[in-house]
Structure formats: structure tokens, C-alpha cells
């Protein structure tokens, strides 16, 4: 993990919260609590970009579920 990576993580609104919130059993239907935290997070975009760049397949990152991130990756490929 690089220094920049560590910096945004430490500033995440989810720091200290139960990680299970961000890994709900069904991240399409049960992600609302996580998304509410992400919506207030100052480093949401850095977090989302990290998840997209690293192909994180589980959990809510940057306010986006795994399915939403797959959609974003497809859009990224189309516009690249």
C-alpha cells in the first residue's frame, strides 16, 4: 500500500465502524447503511477509484456496490 493510499483510508468516514456494514450479504439490497456513510465521506472518490483500479469484487467502496462498480468499469472501457 502506497503512502497516498494510506492517507485516504485514514480519512475515510468508515474508519472505526463495523466493517460488516460494508460487506452485507446482498450488497444490492442491503447496502443502504454503507452508502449513507460513504455519501458523507470526504475521500469517496479516492476510495471508488481504488476499488475500480484494483477490481475489488466485494463490498461497498466509494458508495458503489460491486454491481455498480462493474457498470462503471464497462463505462470506463467504452470511453477509454
Q: Site residues (CB under 6 A) for ligand SF4?
A: 12-14, 22, 37-38, 41, 43-44, 47, 61-63
Please tell me the distance from the alpha carbon of residue 63 to that of residue 48, in angstroms, as a whole number.
7
Q: Which is nearer to ligand SF4, 13 or 66 (CB)?
A: 13
Q: At its nearest, how many Å lie between ligand SF4 and the CB of residue 55?
A: 16
Q: At its nearest, how many Å lie between ligand SF4 and the CB of residue 76?
A: 18
The phi, psi pair for 35, rounded to 5°, reads -60, -35
- Among positive and negative, which fits the CA dihedral 32, 25, 68, 48? positive
Amino acid at each position: 500500500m502506497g503512502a497516498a493510499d494510506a492517507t485516504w483510508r485514514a480519512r475515510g468516514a468508515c474508519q472505526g465502524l463495523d466493517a460488516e456494514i460494508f460487506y452485507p450479504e446482498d450488497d444490492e439490497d442491503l447496502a443502504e447503511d454503507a452508502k449513507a456513510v460513504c455519501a458523507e465521506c470526504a475521500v469517496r472518490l479516492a476510495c471508488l477509484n481504488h476499488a475500480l483500479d484494483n477490481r475489488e469484487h466485494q463490498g461497498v467502496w466509494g458508495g458503489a456496490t460491486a454491481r455498480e462498480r462493474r457498470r462503471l468499469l464497462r463505462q470506463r472501457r467504452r470511453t477509454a
